[in-house]
Structure 1
Amino acid sequence: MLTRRRALLADAAAAGAASTAGVLGALDGTDPVPVPAAAPAPGPPARRALRPSAYRLQPLTGYGPPRASLARTPVRREPLLSVSGRGRTMVLTFDDGPDPRYTPDILDTLAAYEVRAMFFVCGEMADDNRDLLARMADDGHVVGNHTWSHPLLTGLSRRRIRTEMERTCEVVDAAYGEPPRWFRAPYGAWNRAAFQLGAELGMEPLAWTVDTLDWTAPGTRTIVGRVEDGAAPGVVVLSHDAGGDRSQSVRALRSYLPRLLDSGYHLTVPRRQPA
Protein backbone atom coordinates (compact mmCIF):
# COMPACT_ATOMS: atom_id res chain seq x y z
CA MET A 1 0.00 0.00 0.00
CA LEU A 2 2.81 2.44 0.85
CA THR A 3 4.51 1.80 -2.50
CA ARG A 4 1.24 2.55 -4.31
CA ARG A 5 0.74 5.71 -2.27
CA ARG A 6 4.27 6.99 -2.96
CA ALA A 7 3.76 6.39 -6.67
CA LEU A 8 0.53 8.37 -6.65
CA LEU A 9 2.09 11.27 -4.77
CA ALA A 10 5.16 11.26 -7.02
CA ASP A 11 3.01 11.44 -10.12
CA ALA A 12 1.01 14.27 -8.60
CA ALA A 13 4.11 16.26 -7.74
CA ALA A 14 5.47 15.89 -11.27
CA ALA A 15 2.22 17.02 -12.82
CA GLY A 16 2.19 20.30 -10.86
CA ALA A 17 -0.09 21.92 -8.30
CA ALA A 18 -3.28 21.52 -10.30
CA SER A 19 -2.75 17.83 -10.85
CA THR A 20 -1.83 17.36 -7.21
CA ALA A 21 -5.10 18.88 -6.12
CA GLY A 22 -6.95 16.48 -8.40
CA VAL A 23 -5.21 13.42 -6.95
CA LEU A 24 -5.81 14.47 -3.38
CA GLY A 25 -9.43 15.18 -4.20
CA ALA A 26 -9.80 11.67 -5.61
CA LEU A 27 -8.39 10.18 -2.43
CA ASP A 28 -10.40 12.40 -0.05
CA GLY A 29 -11.84 10.45 2.85
CA THR A 30 -9.62 7.41 2.39
CA ASP A 31 -6.53 8.45 4.36
CA PRO A 32 -5.54 5.92 7.01
CA VAL A 33 -6.98 6.49 10.47
CA PRO A 34 -4.47 5.10 12.97
CA VAL A 35 -5.75 3.56 16.18
CA PRO A 36 -3.25 2.98 19.00
CA ALA A 37 -2.01 -0.60 19.01
CA ALA A 38 -3.00 -2.63 22.04
CA ALA A 39 -0.39 -4.30 24.19
CA PRO A 40 -0.61 -8.10 24.38
CA ALA A 41 -2.76 -9.47 27.16
CA PRO A 42 -0.94 -11.11 30.08
CA GLY A 43 -0.88 -14.88 30.16
CA PRO A 44 0.04 -17.48 27.55
CA PRO A 45 0.84 -16.21 24.05
CA ALA A 46 -1.74 -16.30 21.29
CA ARG A 47 -1.89 -19.42 19.15
CA ARG A 48 -0.88 -17.59 15.98
CA ALA A 49 0.29 -14.16 14.96
CA LEU A 50 -2.40 -11.66 14.14
CA ARG A 51 -2.37 -9.27 11.23
CA PRO A 52 -1.09 -6.04 12.78
CA SER A 53 -2.94 -3.67 10.48
CA ALA A 54 -6.50 -4.96 10.39
CA TYR A 55 -7.96 -2.91 13.26
CA ARG A 56 -5.20 -0.37 13.81
CA LEU A 57 -4.35 1.11 10.39
CA GLN A 58 -6.99 1.38 7.70
CA PRO A 59 -5.54 0.93 4.16
CA LEU A 60 -5.27 3.93 1.87
CA THR A 61 -7.00 2.13 -0.96
CA GLY A 62 -7.64 -1.37 -2.22
CA TYR A 63 -7.78 -3.50 -5.33
CA GLY A 64 -11.32 -4.83 -4.91
CA PRO A 65 -14.76 -3.29 -4.47
CA PRO A 66 -14.91 -1.15 -1.31
CA ARG A 67 -16.97 -2.30 1.65
CA ALA A 68 -19.98 -0.28 2.59
CA SER A 69 -19.08 2.06 5.41
CA LEU A 70 -21.32 2.43 8.43
CA ALA A 71 -22.25 5.64 10.13
CA ARG A 72 -20.18 6.51 13.18
CA THR A 73 -21.20 4.23 16.02
CA PRO A 74 -22.59 6.13 19.02
CA VAL A 75 -21.09 5.59 22.46
CA ARG A 76 -23.95 4.34 24.58
CA ARG A 77 -24.36 4.31 28.33
CA GLU A 78 -26.34 1.09 28.38
CA PRO A 79 -26.79 -1.78 25.94
CA LEU A 80 -29.71 -2.23 23.62
CA LEU A 81 -32.24 -4.65 25.12
CA SER A 82 -34.70 -5.14 22.29
CA VAL A 83 -35.03 -4.63 18.55
CA SER A 84 -37.52 -2.83 16.40
CA GLY A 85 -39.33 -4.43 13.52
CA ARG A 86 -42.65 -4.88 11.86
CA GLY A 87 -45.23 -6.99 13.63
CA ARG A 88 -44.19 -9.79 15.95
CA THR A 89 -40.44 -9.70 15.38
CA MET A 90 -38.02 -11.53 17.67
CA VAL A 91 -34.30 -12.26 17.65
CA LEU A 92 -32.64 -15.50 18.80
CA THR A 93 -29.07 -15.17 20.04
CA PHE A 94 -26.50 -17.80 21.03
CA ASP A 95 -23.39 -17.06 23.10
CA ASP A 96 -19.94 -18.53 23.81
CA GLY A 97 -19.44 -20.65 20.68
CA PRO A 98 -18.97 -21.92 18.19
CA ASP A 99 -18.72 -25.45 19.56
CA PRO A 100 -18.52 -28.33 17.04
CA ARG A 101 -20.58 -30.52 19.40
CA TYR A 102 -23.66 -28.28 19.47
CA THR A 103 -23.43 -25.38 17.01
CA PRO A 104 -23.91 -27.54 13.87
CA ASP A 105 -27.17 -28.95 15.28
CA ILE A 106 -28.42 -25.44 16.03
CA LEU A 107 -27.48 -24.31 12.53
CA ASP A 108 -29.27 -27.34 11.06
CA THR A 109 -32.47 -26.52 12.95
CA LEU A 110 -32.37 -22.87 11.94
CA ALA A 111 -31.78 -23.86 8.32
CA ALA A 112 -34.69 -26.31 8.38
CA TYR A 113 -37.06 -23.44 9.23
CA GLU A 114 -35.20 -20.81 7.19
CA VAL A 115 -34.58 -18.69 10.28
CA ARG A 116 -31.59 -16.46 10.86
CA ALA A 117 -30.08 -15.82 14.28
CA MET A 118 -27.19 -14.03 15.99
CA PHE A 119 -24.10 -15.79 17.32
CA PHE A 120 -21.93 -13.89 19.80
CA VAL A 121 -18.68 -15.82 19.51
CA CYS A 122 -15.63 -16.01 21.73
CA GLY A 123 -12.44 -15.51 19.76
CA GLU A 124 -10.63 -18.55 21.14
CA MET A 125 -13.56 -20.78 20.14
CA ALA A 126 -13.99 -19.12 16.75
CA ASP A 127 -10.29 -19.44 16.01
CA ASP A 128 -10.52 -23.23 16.34
CA ASN A 129 -13.80 -23.49 14.40
CA ARG A 130 -13.54 -21.06 11.52
CA ASP A 131 -15.51 -23.38 9.27
CA LEU A 132 -18.57 -22.82 11.45
CA LEU A 133 -18.25 -19.05 11.10
CA ALA A 134 -18.06 -19.51 7.34
CA ARG A 135 -21.27 -21.53 7.47
CA MET A 136 -22.94 -18.83 9.55
CA ALA A 137 -22.05 -16.34 6.83
CA ASP A 138 -23.40 -18.65 4.12
CA ASP A 139 -26.67 -19.13 6.02
CA GLY A 140 -27.19 -15.40 6.59
CA HIS A 141 -26.66 -15.35 10.36
CA VAL A 142 -25.07 -12.39 12.16
CA VAL A 143 -21.86 -12.94 14.11
CA GLY A 144 -21.11 -10.66 17.06
CA ASN A 145 -18.10 -10.15 19.32
CA HIS A 146 -18.21 -11.80 22.77
CA THR A 147 -14.53 -11.11 23.60
CA TRP A 148 -11.64 -13.53 23.20
CA SER A 149 -11.68 -15.52 26.45
CA HIS A 150 -15.00 -14.55 28.11
CA PRO A 151 -13.56 -12.53 31.02
CA LEU A 152 -15.39 -10.26 33.44
CA LEU A 153 -14.71 -6.92 31.77
CA THR A 154 -15.35 -4.85 34.88
CA GLY A 155 -12.20 -6.33 36.41
CA LEU A 156 -9.92 -5.61 33.44
CA SER A 157 -7.87 -2.62 32.37
CA ARG A 158 -8.91 -0.63 29.34
CA ARG A 159 -5.93 -2.00 27.43
CA ARG A 160 -6.87 -5.60 28.20
CA ILE A 161 -10.50 -5.02 27.15
CA ARG A 162 -9.32 -3.61 23.83
CA THR A 163 -7.10 -6.66 23.28
CA GLU A 164 -10.01 -9.02 24.01
CA MET A 165 -12.18 -7.20 21.50
CA GLU A 166 -9.58 -6.67 18.78
CA ARG A 167 -8.36 -10.27 18.70
CA THR A 168 -11.92 -11.50 18.25
CA CYS A 169 -12.59 -8.91 15.54
CA GLU A 170 -9.55 -10.25 13.67
CA VAL A 171 -10.81 -13.83 13.68
CA VAL A 172 -14.39 -12.94 12.78
CA ASP A 173 -13.26 -10.75 9.89
CA ALA A 174 -11.04 -13.52 8.51
CA ALA A 175 -13.47 -16.43 8.93
CA TYR A 176 -16.88 -14.78 8.56
CA GLY A 177 -15.90 -12.34 5.84
CA GLU A 178 -16.58 -9.02 7.57
CA PRO A 179 -15.90 -7.51 10.99
CA PRO A 180 -18.51 -7.84 13.74
CA ARG A 181 -20.98 -4.98 14.06
CA TRP A 182 -22.41 -6.08 17.41
CA PHE A 183 -20.85 -6.69 20.81
CA ARG A 184 -22.04 -8.41 23.96
CA ALA A 185 -20.20 -8.25 27.28
CA PRO A 186 -19.65 -11.58 29.03
CA TYR A 187 -22.03 -12.06 31.98
CA GLY A 188 -23.80 -8.89 30.87
CA ALA A 189 -21.19 -6.92 32.83
CA TRP A 190 -20.74 -3.63 30.97
CA ASN A 191 -18.63 -0.64 31.88
CA ARG A 192 -17.74 2.69 30.32
CA ALA A 193 -14.58 1.36 28.67
CA ALA A 194 -16.50 -1.49 27.02
CA PHE A 195 -19.02 0.92 25.51
CA GLN A 196 -16.32 3.31 24.30
CA LEU A 197 -14.00 0.68 22.85
CA GLY A 198 -16.86 -1.19 21.23
CA ALA A 199 -17.97 2.01 19.50
CA GLU A 200 -14.41 2.72 18.36
CA LEU A 201 -14.39 -0.69 16.67
CA GLY A 202 -17.73 0.01 15.01
CA MET A 203 -19.86 -2.24 17.21
CA GLU A 204 -23.23 -1.65 18.87
CA PRO A 205 -23.82 -3.21 22.33
CA LEU A 206 -26.68 -5.70 22.43
CA ALA A 207 -27.95 -7.37 25.60
CA TRP A 208 -31.15 -9.44 25.83
CA THR A 209 -34.75 -9.37 26.97
CA VAL A 210 -35.37 -13.05 27.78
CA ASP A 211 -32.67 -15.12 29.50
CA THR A 212 -33.28 -18.86 29.12
CA LEU A 213 -30.67 -19.62 31.80
CA ASP A 214 -29.88 -22.70 29.74
CA TRP A 215 -26.32 -22.69 31.07
CA THR A 216 -27.74 -24.02 34.36
CA ALA A 217 -29.14 -27.07 32.49
CA PRO A 218 -32.64 -26.62 33.97
CA GLY A 219 -34.19 -29.14 31.56
CA THR A 220 -35.40 -28.88 27.98
CA ARG A 221 -39.02 -28.26 28.97
CA THR A 222 -38.02 -25.40 31.28
CA ILE A 223 -35.99 -23.70 28.55
CA VAL A 224 -38.89 -24.01 26.12
CA GLY A 225 -41.28 -22.54 28.67
CA ARG A 226 -39.06 -19.54 29.33
CA VAL A 227 -38.83 -18.70 25.65
CA GLU A 228 -42.56 -19.11 24.99
CA ASP A 229 -43.59 -17.24 28.14
CA GLY A 230 -41.28 -14.33 27.29
CA ALA A 231 -42.17 -14.13 23.61
CA ALA A 232 -43.25 -10.63 22.53
CA PRO A 233 -42.51 -8.16 19.73
CA GLY A 234 -38.94 -6.88 19.88
CA VAL A 235 -37.71 -9.54 22.31
CA VAL A 236 -34.08 -10.71 22.19
CA VAL A 237 -33.66 -14.27 23.51
CA LEU A 238 -30.38 -15.35 25.11
CA SER A 239 -29.24 -18.98 24.77
CA HIS A 240 -25.85 -20.69 24.52
CA ASP A 241 -24.21 -23.02 22.03
CA ALA A 242 -21.01 -23.60 24.02
CA GLY A 243 -19.49 -23.34 27.48
CA GLY A 244 -20.72 -26.72 28.73
CA ASP A 245 -23.24 -29.40 27.86
CA ARG A 246 -25.68 -27.61 25.56
CA SER A 247 -27.71 -30.63 24.47
CA GLN A 248 -30.77 -29.22 26.29
CA SER A 249 -30.42 -25.96 24.36
CA VAL A 250 -30.30 -27.91 21.08
CA ARG A 251 -33.43 -29.90 21.91
CA ALA A 252 -35.27 -26.84 23.21
CA LEU A 253 -34.69 -24.94 19.96
CA ARG A 254 -36.20 -27.82 17.98
CA SER A 255 -39.32 -27.51 20.14
CA TYR A 256 -39.95 -23.78 20.55
CA LEU A 257 -38.85 -22.58 17.12
CA PRO A 258 -41.73 -24.12 15.12
CA ARG A 259 -44.19 -23.08 17.84
CA LEU A 260 -43.08 -19.45 17.62
CA LEU A 261 -43.41 -19.51 13.86
CA ASP A 262 -46.86 -21.09 14.07
CA SER A 263 -47.86 -18.32 16.50
CA GLY A 264 -47.01 -15.68 13.91
CA TYR A 265 -43.60 -14.57 15.16
CA HIS A 266 -40.98 -13.46 12.67
CA LEU A 267 -37.53 -14.63 13.80
CA THR A 268 -34.88 -12.48 12.20
CA VAL A 269 -31.67 -10.52 12.83
CA PRO A 270 -31.13 -6.77 13.28
CA ARG A 271 -29.50 -4.92 10.46
CA ARG A 272 -27.32 -1.84 10.57
CA GLN A 273 -27.59 0.38 7.55
CA PRO A 274 -24.53 1.73 5.69
CA ALA A 275 -24.06 5.47 5.81
Structure 2
Amino acid sequence: MMASTTRRNDLRPISAALLLLLVWAGAARLYPPVILPGPVETLQALAALVAEGELWEPLKRTIARFSAGFGLAFLLGAGLGVAAGWRESVHVFIRPAISLLQAVPPVSWMLLAIMWLGTNGGAQVLIVTIALVPVFFFNTVEGVRQAPRELLEMAAVYQVSTGKRIAGIYMPALKPFWSAAIMVNLGMGWKTVVMAELISGHTGVGASMNTARIYLEIPDVMAWTLVIALLGLSMEQIARKLLHRKGPTAAD
Protein backbone atom coordinates (compact mmCIF):
# COMPACT_ATOMS: atom_id res chain seq x y z
CA MET A 1 0.00 0.00 0.00
CA MET A 2 2.86 2.34 0.90
CA ALA A 3 4.63 1.60 -2.40
CA SER A 4 1.42 2.26 -4.35
CA THR A 5 0.91 5.62 -2.63
CA THR A 6 4.55 6.62 -3.24
CA ARG A 7 4.26 5.68 -6.91
CA ARG A 8 1.14 7.80 -7.32
CA ASN A 9 2.87 10.75 -5.64
CA ASP A 10 5.84 10.39 -8.00
CA LEU A 11 3.55 10.35 -11.05
CA ARG A 12 1.62 13.49 -10.11
CA PRO A 13 4.31 16.01 -11.18
CA ILE A 14 4.78 14.13 -14.46
CA SER A 15 1.03 14.14 -15.10
CA ALA A 16 0.83 17.86 -14.34
CA ALA A 17 3.74 18.58 -16.70
CA LEU A 18 2.13 16.54 -19.50
CA LEU A 19 -1.18 18.34 -18.99
CA LEU A 20 0.55 21.72 -19.15
CA LEU A 21 2.38 20.63 -22.31
CA LEU A 22 -0.89 19.58 -23.97
CA VAL A 23 -2.57 22.87 -23.03
CA TRP A 24 0.43 24.79 -24.40
CA ALA A 25 0.40 22.80 -27.67
CA GLY A 26 -3.35 23.26 -28.04
CA ALA A 27 -3.19 27.01 -27.41
CA ALA A 28 -0.30 27.40 -29.87
CA ARG A 29 -2.46 25.94 -32.65
CA LEU A 30 -4.79 28.93 -32.30
CA TYR A 31 -2.05 31.53 -32.91
CA PRO A 32 0.88 31.96 -35.30
CA PRO A 33 4.39 31.25 -33.91
CA VAL A 34 5.20 34.97 -33.85
CA ILE A 35 2.58 35.34 -31.09
CA LEU A 36 2.66 31.97 -29.30
CA PRO A 37 5.23 29.41 -30.40
CA GLY A 38 4.41 25.81 -29.62
CA PRO A 39 6.63 23.26 -27.87
CA VAL A 40 8.23 22.15 -31.15
CA GLU A 41 9.17 25.69 -32.23
CA THR A 42 10.46 26.44 -28.72
CA LEU A 43 12.68 23.35 -28.65
CA GLN A 44 13.99 24.19 -32.11
CA ALA A 45 14.86 27.70 -30.93
CA LEU A 46 16.55 26.26 -27.84
CA ALA A 47 18.58 23.85 -29.97
CA ALA A 48 19.66 26.78 -32.18
CA LEU A 49 20.78 28.77 -29.12
CA VAL A 50 22.88 25.82 -28.00
CA ALA A 51 24.32 25.15 -31.46
CA GLU A 52 25.22 28.81 -32.00
CA GLY A 53 26.86 29.10 -28.56
CA GLU A 54 24.42 31.80 -27.40
CA LEU A 55 23.06 29.93 -24.38
CA TRP A 56 25.93 29.28 -21.98
CA GLU A 57 27.54 32.71 -21.59
CA PRO A 58 24.32 34.56 -20.59
CA LEU A 59 23.38 31.64 -18.36
CA LYS A 60 26.72 31.69 -16.54
CA ARG A 61 26.46 35.43 -15.92
CA THR A 62 22.93 35.14 -14.56
CA ILE A 63 23.79 32.22 -12.28
CA ALA A 64 26.86 34.09 -10.99
CA ARG A 65 24.80 37.21 -10.19
CA PHE A 66 22.07 35.18 -8.54
CA SER A 67 24.61 33.26 -6.44
CA ALA A 68 26.36 36.45 -5.34
CA GLY A 69 23.10 38.19 -4.42
CA PHE A 70 21.73 35.14 -2.64
CA GLY A 71 24.93 34.66 -0.63
CA LEU A 72 25.13 38.32 0.38
CA ALA A 73 21.45 38.33 1.35
CA PHE A 74 21.93 35.29 3.57
CA LEU A 75 24.99 36.73 5.28
CA LEU A 76 23.34 40.11 5.90
CA GLY A 77 19.85 38.84 6.72
CA ALA A 78 20.96 35.98 8.95
CA GLY A 79 23.66 38.03 10.66
CA LEU A 80 21.37 40.93 11.45
CA GLY A 81 18.59 38.50 12.37
CA VAL A 82 20.75 36.72 14.94
CA ALA A 83 21.73 40.03 16.54
CA ALA A 84 18.11 41.23 16.55
CA GLY A 85 16.88 37.92 17.95
CA TRP A 86 19.32 38.03 20.85
CA ARG A 87 18.85 41.68 21.73
CA GLU A 88 15.46 43.41 21.63
CA SER A 89 17.18 46.81 21.50
CA VAL A 90 18.94 45.75 18.27
CA HIS A 91 15.66 44.44 16.88
CA VAL A 92 13.88 47.72 17.53
CA PHE A 93 16.72 49.60 15.81
CA ILE A 94 17.07 47.34 12.72
CA ARG A 95 13.49 46.24 12.01
CA PRO A 96 12.31 49.59 10.49
CA ALA A 97 15.15 49.55 7.97
CA ILE A 98 14.41 45.95 6.95
CA SER A 99 10.70 46.75 6.69
CA LEU A 100 11.58 49.68 4.44
CA LEU A 101 13.57 47.38 2.16
CA GLN A 102 10.55 45.11 1.95
CA ALA A 103 8.06 47.92 1.31
CA VAL A 104 9.88 49.63 -1.57
CA PRO A 105 9.18 47.86 -4.91
CA PRO A 106 12.19 46.27 -6.65
CA VAL A 107 11.71 48.53 -9.68
CA SER A 108 12.51 51.59 -7.57
CA TRP A 109 15.67 49.97 -6.22
CA MET A 110 16.54 48.97 -9.76
CA LEU A 111 16.50 52.56 -11.01
CA LEU A 112 18.66 53.68 -8.10
CA ALA A 113 21.05 50.74 -8.50
CA ILE A 114 21.61 51.60 -12.17
CA MET A 115 22.66 55.13 -11.21
CA TRP A 116 24.88 53.86 -8.39
CA LEU A 117 26.49 50.81 -10.01
CA GLY A 118 25.82 50.98 -13.73
CA THR A 119 24.51 48.09 -15.82
CA ASN A 120 27.46 45.70 -15.87
CA GLY A 121 26.25 43.35 -13.15
CA GLY A 122 26.58 45.11 -9.82
CA ALA A 123 23.07 46.55 -10.03
CA GLN A 124 21.53 43.11 -10.55
CA VAL A 125 23.41 41.65 -7.58
CA LEU A 126 22.28 44.55 -5.40
CA ILE A 127 18.63 44.10 -6.41
CA VAL A 128 18.69 40.40 -5.55
CA THR A 129 20.35 41.13 -2.21
CA ILE A 130 17.81 43.79 -1.28
CA ALA A 131 14.88 41.58 -2.31
CA LEU A 132 16.02 38.57 -0.26
CA VAL A 133 17.43 40.12 2.93
CA PRO A 134 14.03 40.67 4.64
CA VAL A 135 12.99 37.01 4.37
CA PHE A 136 16.29 35.82 5.85
CA PHE A 137 16.14 38.48 8.56
CA PHE A 138 12.61 37.85 9.82
CA ASN A 139 12.97 34.06 9.71
CA THR A 140 16.25 34.23 11.60
CA VAL A 141 14.80 36.48 14.30
CA GLU A 142 11.92 34.06 14.80
CA GLY A 143 14.27 31.06 14.83
CA VAL A 144 16.47 32.59 17.55
CA ARG A 145 13.40 33.42 19.64
CA GLN A 146 12.12 29.86 19.28
CA ALA A 147 15.25 28.40 20.91
CA PRO A 148 14.10 26.43 24.01
CA ARG A 149 14.43 28.71 27.05
CA GLU A 150 14.71 25.73 29.42
CA LEU A 151 17.78 24.46 27.59
CA LEU A 152 19.32 27.92 27.53
CA GLU A 153 18.78 28.35 31.26
CA MET A 154 20.28 24.93 31.90
CA ALA A 155 23.26 25.78 29.70
CA ALA A 156 23.78 28.98 31.70
CA VAL A 157 23.63 27.10 35.01
CA TYR A 158 26.19 24.53 33.87
CA GLN A 159 28.31 27.21 32.17
CA VAL A 160 28.15 25.58 28.75
CA SER A 161 30.39 27.36 26.25
CA THR A 162 28.90 29.74 23.69
CA GLY A 163 30.00 27.51 20.83
CA LYS A 164 28.17 24.52 22.27
CA ARG A 165 25.06 26.60 22.91
CA ILE A 166 25.04 27.73 19.29
CA ALA A 167 25.63 24.21 17.92
CA GLY A 168 23.34 22.35 20.29
CA ILE A 169 20.48 24.78 20.94
CA TYR A 170 20.34 27.66 18.49
CA MET A 171 21.23 25.83 15.27
CA PRO A 172 18.49 23.17 15.64
CA ALA A 173 16.00 25.95 16.35
CA LEU A 174 17.15 27.97 13.34
CA LYS A 175 17.28 25.09 10.84
CA PRO A 176 13.54 24.93 9.94
CA PHE A 177 13.32 28.71 9.66
CA TRP A 178 16.41 28.90 7.46
CA SER A 179 15.12 26.01 5.35
CA ALA A 180 11.84 27.84 4.76
CA ALA A 181 13.63 31.09 3.95
CA ILE A 182 15.98 29.38 1.49
CA MET A 183 13.11 27.69 -0.36
CA VAL A 184 11.19 30.98 -0.65
CA ASN A 185 14.23 33.01 -1.66
CA LEU A 186 15.46 30.57 -4.30
CA GLY A 187 12.39 31.17 -6.43
CA MET A 188 12.15 34.85 -5.61
CA GLY A 189 15.83 35.52 -6.23
CA TRP A 190 15.96 33.62 -9.51
CA LYS A 191 13.00 35.56 -10.91
CA THR A 192 14.37 38.84 -9.55
CA VAL A 193 17.78 38.53 -11.18
CA VAL A 194 16.24 37.76 -14.59
CA MET A 195 13.83 40.69 -14.25
CA ALA A 196 16.68 42.98 -13.22
CA GLU A 197 18.74 41.93 -16.25
CA LEU A 198 15.77 42.41 -18.56
CA ILE A 199 15.17 45.96 -17.34
CA SER A 200 18.66 47.19 -16.57
CA GLY A 201 21.25 44.84 -18.04
CA HIS A 202 23.18 44.36 -21.27
CA THR A 203 24.22 40.79 -20.51
CA GLY A 204 22.67 37.71 -18.96
CA VAL A 205 19.49 35.75 -19.59
CA GLY A 206 17.16 38.69 -19.01
CA ALA A 207 19.05 40.88 -21.47
CA SER A 208 19.01 38.09 -24.08
CA MET A 209 15.25 37.75 -23.63
CA ASN A 210 14.83 41.50 -24.09
CA THR A 211 16.90 41.46 -27.28
CA ALA A 212 14.81 38.59 -28.65
CA ARG A 213 11.64 40.52 -27.78
CA ILE A 214 12.85 43.66 -29.58
CA TYR A 215 13.54 41.67 -32.77
CA LEU A 216 10.26 39.71 -32.42
CA GLU A 217 12.13 36.43 -32.06
CA ILE A 218 9.34 35.04 -29.89
CA PRO A 219 10.49 31.38 -30.13
CA ASP A 220 13.78 32.52 -28.54
CA VAL A 221 11.84 34.28 -25.78
CA MET A 222 9.92 31.06 -25.10
CA ALA A 223 13.15 29.05 -25.20
CA TRP A 224 14.74 31.30 -22.58
CA THR A 225 11.56 31.13 -20.52
CA LEU A 226 11.72 27.34 -20.62
CA VAL A 227 15.36 27.38 -19.53
CA ILE A 228 14.57 29.74 -16.64
CA ALA A 229 11.65 27.61 -15.47
CA LEU A 230 13.57 24.33 -15.66
CA LEU A 231 16.60 25.75 -13.84
CA GLY A 232 14.39 27.29 -11.15
CA LEU A 233 12.57 24.00 -10.57
CA SER A 234 15.86 22.09 -10.53
CA MET A 235 17.40 24.41 -7.93
CA GLU A 236 14.35 24.07 -5.70
CA GLN A 237 14.36 20.28 -5.96
CA ILE A 238 18.08 20.06 -5.19
CA ALA A 239 17.74 22.46 -2.25
CA ARG A 240 14.75 20.54 -0.89
CA LYS A 241 16.67 17.25 -0.96
CA LEU A 242 19.75 18.78 0.66
CA LEU A 243 17.78 20.58 3.36
CA HIS A 244 15.73 17.54 4.29
CA ARG A 245 18.57 15.04 4.11
CA LYS A 246 19.00 13.28 7.40
CA GLY A 247 22.47 13.09 8.87
CA PRO A 248 23.97 9.92 10.37
CA THR A 249 22.30 8.69 13.54
CA ALA A 250 23.89 7.20 16.61
CA ALA A 251 22.90 3.73 15.40
CA ASP A 252 24.94 4.22 12.25
The TM-score by the shorter chain falls in which range? under 0.3
Q: Rg larger in 1 or in 2?
A: 2
More strand by share: 1
TM-score (norm 1): 0.23
